[in-house]
């Protein structure tokens, strides 16, 4: 088993990564929680595949178990779904000494984590991520949020879990598109802070080539994120580098009404845009964008998009990281080295017009 300790002033916790751990997770959770009752928040697809296994593990550890299910997909990260989940919690008479378990991908983790953060002013919760994207990224670090019609993740809170339990065996039921989505975040880690990881991904050459190494890759990404989170828990400085490609990506998701591109696909497109933006500004070595483009294509992620630059910039204006000086972007100084850089909107518009004319 790989184990990582995240040490934070607000509360430290472990990330435990081990194949087959879902069947033993009740004991792992019991080690950090004295709760009698747990409420599992999951999506309908995940629960149909693994709900009975999780419930048995929890019951065997002495927990009383209730569940709340939501429809799968980004469409559930809304105020309406959030209100329904909180209403279900009220109907179940959830109290402050109960434990919430987020059991699913990034959408479930964000929604359940936010519900845990604010219901009765805060309940303890556990993350059990079931997708590659959630296992390498979104389950770690305590960011929780839901979307508004105006933009992604605009309502949220920082709320750290009691423990993160990651079972790579759960990836076996993911289709290629969901695996590719997670690979986008893995590529991100290599691009912003670890060229050695990026080179390994180039050598693996495909999802099939990377899968035998996935437990080590998950550990490596989570440990890298740990460093950023410990330095900057509330996302005010260095941790923002984890948003490489996301300012563009979130706008792309919104433009497609969260249906055309998945989060990982949008981030993949955003990373290429960010690299080419850095090149245009003279901050990123020429050719970096093409190198990123090749590896993104190798992992079956999109690199071409047909959008209007003015619309893209408009949706980017809702990014939480922006300030009065302009758009705060994460750019590459070199492969494996990143920076936070603010670009004025007029300059960004000119650059994106040129980039998008070339269809990336």
- Which tens digit of pLDDT belongs to each residue from 67-92? 999 999 999 999 999 999 999 999 99
Distance CA(232)–CA(241), nearest Å, equals 11
List beta partners, residue 158: 143
Distance CA(149)–CA(275), nearest Å, equals 28
Do residues 341 and 195 share a domain? Answer: yes
What's the domain range around 265? 176-357
CATH number at residue 46: 3.40.50.1970
Domain count, the chain: 2
Residue 68: closest CA among 83, 57, 56 = 83
State pLDDT tens for residues 237-287. Answer: 999 999 999 999 999 999 998 889 999 999 999 999 999 999 999 999 999
Looking at 30-34, 184-188, 216-220, 320-324, which range is the least confident one? 320-324
358: confidence class by pLDDT, cuts 50, 70, 90: low
pTM: 0.95
Last residue of a domain, one of 173, 203, 232: 173
Q: Which residues contact 305 (CB under 8 A, 6 or more apart)?
A: 252, 269, 356, 359, 360
List beta partners, residue 341: 329
Q: Which residues contact 28 (CB under 8 A, 6 or more apart)?
A: 16, 21, 163, 165
> Which residues in the chain belong to E strands, given as ranges?
2-6, 13-17, 37-43, 64-70, 99-104, 125-129, 143-148, 151-158, 163-166, 327-334, 337-343
Last residue of a domain, one of 146, 173, 200: 173
Task: Examine the pLDDT at 359 and tell me if it is beyond 80.
Answer: no
Do residues 214 and 337 share a domain? Answer: yes
CATH number at residue 227: 1.20.1090.10
Give me the pLDDT at residue 321, please.
78
Do residues 121 and 204 share a domain? Answer: no
State pLDDT tens for residues 114-149. Answer: 999 999 999 999 999 999 999 999 999 999 999 999
Query: DSSP characters for 234-301?
Result: TSSSGGGGGGTTHHHHHHHHHHTTTTSS-HHHHHHHHHHHHHHHHHHTT-S-TTHHHHHHHHHHHTT-
- State the chain's mean pLDDT as an integer: 96
């Amino acid at each position: 088993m790989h184990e990582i300790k995240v040490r934070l002033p607000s509360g430290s916790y472990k990330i435990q990564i081990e194949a087959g751990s879902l069947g033993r997770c009740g004991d792992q959770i019991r080690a950090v929680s004295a709760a009698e009752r747990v409420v599992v928040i999951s999506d309908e697809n995940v629960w149909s595949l693994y709900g009975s296994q999780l419930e048995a593990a929890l019951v065997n550890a002495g927990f009383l178990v209730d569940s709340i299910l939501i429809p799968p997909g980004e469409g559930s990260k809304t105020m309406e779904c959030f209100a329904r989940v909180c209403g279900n919690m009220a109907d179940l008479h959830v109290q402050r000494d109960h434990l919430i378990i987020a059991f699913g991908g990034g959408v479930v983790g964000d929604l359940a984590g936010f519900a845990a953060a604010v219901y009765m002013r805060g309940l303890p919760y556990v993350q059990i991520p079931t997708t590659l994207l959630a296992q390498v990224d979104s389950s770690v670090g305590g960011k929780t949020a839901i979307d508004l019609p105006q933009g992604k993740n605009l309502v949220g809170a920082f709320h750290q879990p009691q423990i993160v339990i990651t079972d790579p065996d759960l990836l076996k039921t993911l289709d290629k598109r969901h695996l590719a989505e997670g690979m986008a975040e893995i590529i991100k880690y290599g691009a912003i802070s670890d060229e050695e990881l990026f080179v390994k991904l180039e050598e693996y050459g495909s999802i099939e080539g990377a899968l035998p190494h996935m437990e080590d890759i998950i550990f490596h990404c989570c440990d890298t994120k740990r460093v950023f989170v410990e330095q900057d828990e509330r996302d005010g400085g260095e941790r923002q580098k984890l948003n490489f490609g996301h300012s563009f990506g979130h706008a792309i998701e919104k433009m497609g009404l969260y249906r055309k591109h998945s989060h990982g696909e949008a981030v993949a497109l955003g990373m290429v845009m960010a690299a080419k933006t850095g090149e245009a500004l003279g901050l990123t070595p020429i050719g970096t964008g093409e190198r990123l483009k090749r590896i993104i294509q190798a992992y079956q992620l999109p690199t071409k998009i047909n959008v209007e630059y003015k619309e893209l910039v408009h949706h980017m204006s809702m990014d939480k990281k922006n300030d009065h000086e302009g758009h705060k972007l994460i750019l590459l100084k070199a492969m494996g080295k990143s920076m936070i850089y603010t670009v004025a909107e007029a300059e960004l518009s000119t650059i994106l017009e040129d980039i998008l004319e070339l269809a990336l």
